[in-house]
Structure 1
């Protein structure tokens, strides 16, 4: 795991945008795992501004609310269309979001896993992190080897996501279909992006604390190619800050990204 700390949210977002752009240019048919959230809106806006073609890319989103159809304004399919897909040349036939409106959620989850495998697996998985430490909707006590399935959402998660539902947590669906922790760990590369003071405590737990099912993001410590990119505020709880800064300032792989 590599921890990269940038001075502010904009710099963190731009670094992730640069990494993804570089990957798409070098591997035009790459398979991307995508996330949602307010920080991701900034990232997708940055990607859409790049002279970049998504035409050969395939994408798989982490999750979708149970009970919402693809055309629902609160669905993650709608979110992706609004913030990225409609602004790029991506072929919508190559974009995938779990089917939260399926009558058989277990079958929908199995189909999603099979679709990822059929695409050759995910090359780069983009992640955010919830205040409960979840990646995707893998709430506390999610098994490290879990696969795509439906999960009950915690009150904390529903409150955190209330902004997309007029600020009313009661309107946030109580369940979601999500990639499992094990599904996420299967990706060949993982990039987690987090910004803001509100994420400082959980980032510290996830990257420096014990690996535990109570904080599903802590399982990323097991991944051989995981980058955690945060701004100064989100990094404020980290004990190893001096070392992380030293690595960024001295490792050759980051030379092109240093000021």
Structure 2
């Protein structure tokens, strides 16, 4: 069982292919590949530093699926992915900008779309989880079982709507790496939302913009606590026993009324 997976180890070095421009962003001009350590992601971005530094507050529009993306998902699965993308962007952007719940002529706007979605393979994930007990240092994934997520997001100027910053972020789970397999078709996408949110924050805020104190009430309170120790412990416990990522244990599962 393990040998065929190990034979694909060379694939782990391959970087994620960037997602083609979807047409969602108001402009793709001057987008450049971001250097540095990107955790296996393909990242292209642009930013007007002066305009970004002048922004005081932002309004976050709800993320959407681009046309024909994720069409095979159920409404529950789509809702799970959209909510986690919204949650991570809210958590990360609010560390640098004041997030408001109602847009005004003085607030910048953040627009986001999921432009590519690759489902996690359930059968392959079971095999991958079994291999994890034999090779615990890294996670081995069956080729074809890895999921992926690609997002485009932009920061628009208050009033006129001119693009201040934009990012195209894409990542596919690696055959050999630290991506935990899942029985959920959206398991990989849900896990990738957090590093995606980090990248959006870094794309929109210059290094001159310092971290700000989160106000009370938290503008992202609708998404639950920023750090749920109980959920983290439960997710780690389930992972250690099964070798699988369960959205319900991680707090990214379907929302209950």
TM-score range, shorter chain: under 0.3
| Alignment TM-score, normalising by the size of structure 1 | 0.26
For the pair shown, the structure with the greater C-alpha radius of gyration is: 2
- Relative to total residues, which structure has the larger helix share, 1 or 2? 1
